[in-house]
Amino acid sequence: MTERSHPRLPINLLKGWPNPCLLPVAQIKTASASALSYPDISTPGLLYGPDPGYLPLREGIAKWLSRFYEKHLKAPIYTERICITGGASQNLACVLQVFSDPVYTRYIWMVSPTYFRVCPIFEDNAFAGRLRSVPEDDEGIDVGFLRQRLHEEENKTGLSNNRTLKGSQPWRKAYRHIIYAVPTFSNPSSRTMTLRRRQQLVEIARQYDALVITDDVYDQLQWPAKPSISDDPTPGLRRALLPRLVDIDRWFQGGAERHDADGFGNVVSNGSFSKIAAPGVRCGWAEGSESFTWGLSQCGSSASGGAPSQMTSTFITHMLESGDLEKHIYTTLQPTYARRYHKIMNAINHYLLPLDVTLPQSNRDIVGGYFLWLALPKPLIADAVAQRAKAEENLIVGQGPLFAVYGDERKDLERQVRFGHPDPSRWAAMLLLGGTDVPRHNLDLGIDRIDASSNAFTVVGTA
């Protein structure tokens, strides 16, 4: 029977789960068997671990990241800059527990559109009602908009209130503001922040006593924007395109430990093995200044039971030391995601771009991450388009307002429009790779439905 005979079979291009065929089951099996075969590895792995995490994994991550970001580093990353976490989301909660204060910390500034599931983590740390959106332009986060809003809020509140609710500890610091961003292949807009914009953001963070928390979870998932004859990644894709903000903070204008600074720095890099190994390993890392990562390791939940993911850390260590993890990234993930990207881009170019749908940073040579982000022309409304695609084609895409910062007041959105940014109602998002759990033949069906759904892009806005 044809696809048209079964229009109710759902195709979900929103879900960000990896396809089971992309999970490195054999490599993890080998790594776990090896770790459990040697008492000098299995015993510490099964016991409470040191607060900063399993030392061999911290050493392995430092060496691996030093290779990947090599051309952007003045010196290798050293172990003391790394601590082990339970993944990016768990670590964000720990960062807020140690480095924010519900009284002293004024606002959470979030790149918009944002990874919406991160909003409850901020709200759980007593920042409900104090999440503020910052729009993006073609260079990434709009630093002009951010600087103006920070200036307005500082003038409004003044600097007189220095009271904190949390106790003082030598390893703890409360930042006055928190800025959240995904600088490379942003979730969900797919934008990559330029080098100039990254430097500007670090300058702003230093000026306003802000901590920039960056989810650097997509950096290794990169491929050429145009399909090549060979599906194998080029050697250039085994190195980072740009320095992370934490790298810039380490050296830019004297670095995080310059003479007039407190040594904590203004950026923490949030890393995870969820996208490059498997979400179920629940293991990640944080990188920052030595003072920052030590303070992070003293978070009560870590100091009480030791670093998270102690046993899993021994498995990941083996995958790093054997080269299995990098081989998986470069020979399985990058080529597979590249094929999916090019397939769905062909459909978008053919069916949607002629309808004046646009994509950000469309002239890039290198793309990556999980998302393709679409902007709709007037008079189309993202909610209506997504609803019609679901009703008529059972095709699930993410409507843009889903990715708005929680609690954004209408006046904040109107202010963004006055800055020249599109109204979020015109947003639409399509998860391309994380439709990762969409089998390849179903991805073909999904593309067929993009064709059929294109009618919604022409009719919905005027219905």
* pLDDT, tens only, 138-186: 999 999 999 999 999 988 866 556 789 998 899 999 999 999 999 999 9
pLDDT tens across 39-52, in order?
999 999 999 999 99
Q: Going by C-beta distance under 8 Å and a sequence separation of 6 or more, which residues neighbour residue 137?
A: 420, 421
> Can you read off the two tokens belonging to residue 6?
């079964």
Euclidean distance between CA atoms 272 and 334, whole angstroms? 17
- Rounded CA separation 20/42 (Å): 27
Neighbours of 36 (CB within 10 A): 15
Asked if 330 contacts 148 with a C-beta cutoff of 8 angstroms, the reply is no
Max CA separation in the chain (angstroms): 72
Residue pLDDT, tens place only, 371-389: 888 888 877 777 888 888 8
Q: What is the pLDDT of residue 461?
A: 33
Could you give the angle at which helices 195-207 and 143-157 cross, rounded to 10 degrees?
Answer: 10
pLDDT of 459 strictly over 50: no
Q: Is the peptide bond before 113 cis (omega within 30 degrees of 0)?
A: yes
Q: How far is CA 122 from CA 134, 401, 432, in A?
A: 16, 19, 27
Arithmetic mean of pLDDT, 21-36:
97
* pTM, two decimal places: 0.93
User: What CA–CA distance (Å, rounded) separates 324 from 117?
Assistant: 31
DSSP 1: -
Average model confidence (pLDDT) across the chain: 87
Which stretch, 1-10, 103-112, 393-402, has highest mean pLDDT? 103-112
Secondary structure (H, E, C), 50-115:
CCCCCHHHHHHHHHHHHHHCHHHCCCCCCHHHEEEECCHHHHHHHHHHHHCCCCCCCEEEEEECCC
Predicted local distance difference test score (pLDDT) of residue 453? 66
Q: Out of 266-275, 280-289, 353-362, 424-433, which region has the weakest mean confidence (pLDDT)?
A: 424-433
Question: Does residue 194 register a pLDDT over 90?
Answer: yes
pLDDT at 430: 58
The rounded distance, in Å, linking the Cα atoms of 248 and 250 is 5
Burial (CB count <10 Å: 0-12, 13-18, 19+), residue 203? middle
Q: What percent of the chain has pLDDT over 90?
A: 62
Strongest mean pLDDT among 10-24, 205-219, 436-450: 205-219
Q: What is the pLDDT of residue 8?
A: 61
Say yes or no to pLDDT of 23 above 90: yes
> What is the DSSP code (8-state) at residue 218?
S
